Amino acid sequence: MPTSPADLPTAVVVPSAVLAGYVVGRRTGARPLAGVALAAGLVQAVPRWSRRSPALAAALALGTVALVGASHPLARRTGPWPAVLTPTATAAGLAAVGDRLSA
């Protein structure tokens, strides 16, 4: 059982950061603040993934950022929540891969 937020699996941290970024961006209208929320999750995840490989960490972090970027045009077609939940679920999957490979 995790004893601190730093002990949570990245498969929990990263999708939470994606959702937090959406909520922050939606409520404030400031995309840079949304990016800060996402970055906070990646700051927790990347060092753990780097234990296995810096290339793995870079690929997973870039993949997560790309998913968030892809959610913007997707929102025009599907609406905001499907456009957020799809990348969030995919980011959770990427993070789970990172957790498994970094263990």
Amino acid at 90: T
Locate 64 and state its tokens.
Answer: 């997560």
What is the per-residue pLDDT for 34? 93
Alpha helices for the chain (secondary structure H): 10-28, 31-50, 54-78, 80-102
Do the beta carbons of residue 90 and residue 8 sit within 8 Å? no
Locate 91 and state its tokens.
Answer: 């980011």
Question: Along the chain (103 residues), what's the average pLDDT of each consecutive run of 10 residues?
Answer: 75 95 94 94 93 93 94 92 94 93 84
3-class SS at 81? helix
Locate 78 and state its tokens.
Answer: 């599907």
What is the per-residue pLDDT for 6? 72
pLDDT in tens, 12-41: 999 999 999 999 999 999 989 999 999 999
Tell me the domain boundaries of the chain.
9-102
What is the per-residue pLDDT for 103? 79
pTM of the model: 0.88
What is the per-residue pLDDT for 2? 63
What is the per-residue pLDDT for 1? 60
